[in-house]
Chains A and B, each alone.
Chain A
Amino acid sequence: TQLLEQSPQFLSIQEGENLTVYCNSSSVFSSLQWYRQEPGEGPVLLVTVVTGGEVKKLKRLTFQFGDARKDSSLHITAAQPGDTGLYLCAQTGTSGTYKYIFGTGTRLKVLA
């Protein structure tokens, strides 16, 4: 059974601080996605990574895919209250199937 663990579970920081959240798998990913979900809404895709060692940037968000393709991190620079939400990582099944597995998420609160 594939497991996807995210840490920390909860994070509360002041506006302007930097933070990193982590996503670790028990097996090699074919691809990995990061989503943000706000209360009462569906998750919104932030990025997809498929290549080991890949780094992608989305404004103040930096996503890194581990060389061994079993871990990923999301770094936010100068966090803002609008970054508040539940951050979820998801991986495709083995051999690139569409049987997605989601992590349990990191709940981030950025205080003004």
Chain B
Amino acid sequence: NAGVTQTPKFQVLKTGQSMTLQCAQDMNHEYMSWYRQDPGMGLRLIHYSVGAGITDQGEVPNGYNVSRSTTEDFPLRLLSAAPSQTSVYFCASGTSSYEQYFGPGTRLTVT
């Protein structure tokens, strides 16, 4: 099993550009989520999904969109990148027993 995979590993965007961060899992988990991690701030939940076709907002959803058309994939879209979105982004999948498994992260810089 590959677990949770994320692409790309690194990305540099200019302000105003859009892009999609990809996340896939092969563990058949219903739960998937996106977090951002900034220095001194821990991980903050952006959006999450409890199954295909079901998404909900986390703590910091503004400027991001998600969709969940399959159990395996949960892409995160940045609509119009801003320097405040410079961060490390982690995708996770999880079980109903409150276990989460994280991907390796995407380091995003917005100039």
Chain A interface (Cβ < 8 Å from any Cβ of B): 30-31, 33, 40-45, 48, 50, 88, 90, 92, 98-105
Q: Given the complex of chains A and B, what is the CA–CA distance between A99 and B101 in angstroms?
A: 15
- Quick check: B99 and A33 within 8 Å, CB to CB? yes
| Residue picked from B43, B59, B101, most chain A C-beta under 10 Å | B43
Q: A42-B102, A43-B102 are in contact. Are A99 and B45 (CB under 8 A)?
A: yes
Smallest distance from the beta carbon of A58 to chain B beta carbons, Å?
Answer: 14
If over half of A's interface residues share one DSSP class (helix, strand or loop), that class is named, otherwise mixed; here it is loop
B33 at the interface (CB under 8 A from A): yes
Q: Given the complex of chains A and B, what is the CA–CA distance between A111 and B4 in angstroms?
A: 32
Q: Given the complex of chains A and B, what is the CA–CA distance between A95 and B41 in angstroms?
A: 25
- Quick check: A43 and B43 within 8 Å, CB to CB? yes
B104 at the interface (CB under 8 A from A): yes
Other-chain contact of B58, A50, A90, A99 (Cβ < 8 Å) = A99
- Quick check: A48 and B90 within 8 Å, CB to CB? no
- Quick check: A102 and B42 within 8 Å, CB to CB? yes
